[in-house]
Amino acid sequence: MTVQTKFSPVTDSATPDPHALSALPDLSVSDVSHRYGAVTALSAVSLAVPAGSLLALVGESGSGKTSLLRCFNRMVEPDSGVVAVGGTDVSTLDAVALRRRIGYVPQNGGLLPHWTVLRNVGVVPRLIGDIDPDAAARIALDRCGLSAEKFGGRFPRELSGGQRQRAALARALAASQRILLLDESFSALDAISRHELLEAFAALRSSVGFTAVLVTHDIGEAARLADAIAVMRAGRVEQCAPLATLLGAPATPYVTELLERAQASARTLVQS
């Protein structure tokens, strides 16, 4: 089953999205397939992500979520199909230049341990020739809730897990990137740090405005942040829709099962 879904982002009228929707989606894949040897990672996947919206990719381990995410910045080169950023086939773009245009936040943050926080955050502005990368880094840190004055001179080992992920998020936005790829970026944190970072991320998205794709195992996290959720299984998209549609009209038995498991887990936590 191949699903191609376009969805409208949720916007807050009090804080209008600085990116009006354009005719072309910011991100799209069309009939994308990829294999690792005998293993099928992606099978004829088609999706479109409008400007200013956030799409969550959910599913079990091995469902193809991270492979799909990494197609957008050419960390994975699919065997077939078309991956586009802003309507342009990424295979026609220089991979290094493309990655500098797109913010990427891996699960562990990916900060260089021998660099200060300020230098880590300013790496992309410095690489693209920004006039003052340190100034860009300070602005990004402040936006992500880390005082540049207090934390900029520290090393990653001197930060808590939540602080490291805030710094990684700041690095992903320091060059005014308008597209973010987040690969389990909040999953390794304790519950309190995760809650605080999710709140900060939602506020940042409202104030700055960007298009994002989020890989997560957590349906609750996807429901909290995403405009639409793509449920993946064995390299295919079972359904892509807002949460209300997934709950009210699940397209496949697997979507129903996944949501029922998530709801059962939530009930168990509340009843404990």
Do the domain assignments include residue 160?
no
Q: What is the pLDDT of residue 23?
A: 54
Q: Which stretches of the chain are assigned E, i.e. beta strand?
A: 27-36, 39-49, 54-58, 80-85, 88-89, 102-105, 179-183, 211-215, 228-233, 236-241
Please give the pLDDT value at position 191.
85
Strands (E), 122-218: 179-183, 211-215
Place of tokens 């059962």: 264
What CATH number corresponds to the domain at position 65? 3.40.50.300
**Average pLDDT per run of 10 along the chain, which is 272 residues long?**
38 35 78 96 96 95 95 97 96 95 91 96 92 93 94 96 93 94 88 88 89 93 94 96 95 94 70 54
73, 26 Cβ separation under 8 angstroms: no
Alpha carbon distances (Å) from 208 to 49, 144, 177 = 18, 11, 10
pTM greater than 0.85 (yes/no):
yes
Name 47's bridge partners. 29
Q: Is residue 54 part of a domain?
A: yes
Query: Is residue 151 a part of any domain in this protein?
Result: no
Q: How many domains does the chain have?
A: 1
Phi/psi at 49 (5° precision): -120, 105
Does a structural domain hold residue 265?
Answer: yes
Alpha-carbon distance 196 to 228, whole Å? 22
Asked, for residue 14, whether it belongs to a domain, the answer is no
DSSP string covering 76-112: S--SEEEEEETTEEGGGS-HHHHHHHEEEE-TT----
Cβ partners under 8 Å of residue 133, min gap 6: 122, 123, 125, 126, 174
Identify whether 21 is part of a domain.
Answer: no
pLDDT at 271 (0 to 100): 58
Q: Which range marks the domain in which residue 267 is found? A: 27-110+180-271
| 11 domain-assigned | no
Q: What interhelical angle do 191-208 and 161-173 show, nearest 10? A: 20
Separation of alpha carbons 37 and 34, rounded Å: 9
